Amino acid sequence: MNRVNVKCEDLQLSYGNVVVLDGVTLDIAPGEFFALLGPSGSGKSTLLRVIAGFLQHQKGRLLIDGRELRDEPAWARRVGMVFQNYALWPHLSVRENVAFGLVERRLSRKEIDARVSEVLEQVELGGLAHRSPHQLSGGQQQRVALARTLVTQPQVLLLDEPLSNLDRSLRIQMRQELLKLQRRLGITTIFVTHDQSEAMTSADRIAVLDKGVVQQIGTPIALYDYPATPFVARFVGTMNLLQGTVRSTCGRAVRLAIEGWGEIVIESDADLAAGRRAMAAIRPQTIRLDVADARRDARFSWLPGSIESVEFHGEFTRYCVQVGEHMVFADQPHYAGLSKFPAGASVSIGIDPTLVRLYGQ
């Protein structure tokens, strides 16, 4: 399969005075599994439909394999799309559903049979070709929808929340199968989801959107460890965000006074002068939690706190800690036999200054 790239250059789309896409610029590599991640209303599904040709952008350029697509209809783009609801014909068999697009294109019966058989084997449905959609599980229906798209041999595969109708265990299985198939075919794939775990575990790179604007593009690790904005910090994983005022700077050391908390020293490359408002972002798993009178590791900034609540998540325990006027999440790994802090316990929380992100405001 010929691998192609997809480029969006300053795409804009509005409905009247409502801006839905605001200067979206992306460069998706050939064969890349690329995710569009964001909350409802962020513009990610609209962007997918623009690429598919179902919606027309008003400004900017859209290119696939270097070809400008502004005036090219959806049927001519060699772009395949799998919808959230699968949209299978209930009165047709699996084979007939998959063959539908090829029949419409008036291909020969021999070629249709060969291509349908091949793609059904690829998605492991060869033995279910004569069943009706209602006789299939949710995961099998999703594979039929995928096969129906792949059989047309698209250059780009678009997936609009294709796993959202599945239960959690099946969603994990189908996510792994989908990624395995995509790697085998090498097809450039753009995957829309509001579920950060789906994006983080599948995508080569992710674009995080909010209100039609791309907030950040990067690998899952880069987005998680180095969020560019407070929005990305909040949306990708769990983050403690604390407002404060810069008291002083010395090299990379920034002394930040957090209202209702106190002062902490943070290592940051942010250009922040004394008196500037700033926001500190701290991942829960980077916070050290210890008894109130324990010997303290000098590498951490320590503050007194009180356990307000305890949540057991299996792999870790999440503590909600009252620190001054703030509630802070602190995650501690769990293993059998590990004692836990009870609600109401007095503790000390330790913050590693090298693991705090700082944003100017």
Q: What is the per-residue DSSP string for 221-287?
A: HHHHHS-SSHHHHHHSS--EEEEEEEEEEETTEEEEEETTTEEEEEE--S---TT-EEEEEE-GGGE
**Rg, Å, the chain Cα set:** 25
Do residues 13 and 118 both lie within one domain? yes
Its domain, for residue 136, covers 6-231
Q: 289 and 206: one domain?
A: no
74 and 11, same structural domain? yes
Q: How far apart are CA 348 and CA 303, in angstroms?
A: 6
Q: Please check whether residues 20 and 163 belong to one and the same domain.
A: yes
Do 27 and 150 lie in one domain? The reply is: yes
Residues 296 and 279 in one domain: yes
Cα distance between residue 41 and residue 63, in whole Å: 24
Domain shared by 130 and 217, yes or no? yes
SS3 content of the chain, % helix, strand, coil (to 5): 25, 35, 35
pLDDT digit string (tens) for the chain, length 361 residues: 578 999 999 999 999 999 999 999 999 999 999 999 999 899 999 999 999 999 999 999 999 999 998 888 888 888 998 887 777 888 989 898 888 888 878 888 888 889 988 888 888 888 888 899 889 888 888 888 888 888 888 999 999 887 776 777 777 888 888 888 888 889 999 999 888 888 999 999 999 999 999 999 999 999 999 999 999 999 999 999 998 999 988 888 889 998 878 888 888 888 888 889 999 999 999 999 988 776 677 788 888 899 999 999 989 999 999 998 889 999 999 988 888 899 999 999 988 888 999 998 7
Q: Are 17 and 166 part of one and the same domain? A: yes
How many Cβ atoms are within 10 Å of 329's Cβ, its own excluded?
17
pLDDT at res. 337: 83
Which residues, other chains included, contact 16 with Cβ-Cβ below 8 Å and sequence gap of 6+?
none
Domain limit, last residue, from 191, 212, 231: 231
- Regarding whether 218 and 115 lie in a shared domain, the answer is yes
Question: Within this chain, do residues 195 and 46 fall inside the same structural domain, yes or no?
Answer: yes
- Chosen domain end from 173, 206, 231: 231
> Within this chain, do residues 246 and 288 fall inside the same structural domain, yes or no?
yes
User: Could you identify the residue written with the tokens 């039929």?
Assistant: 144
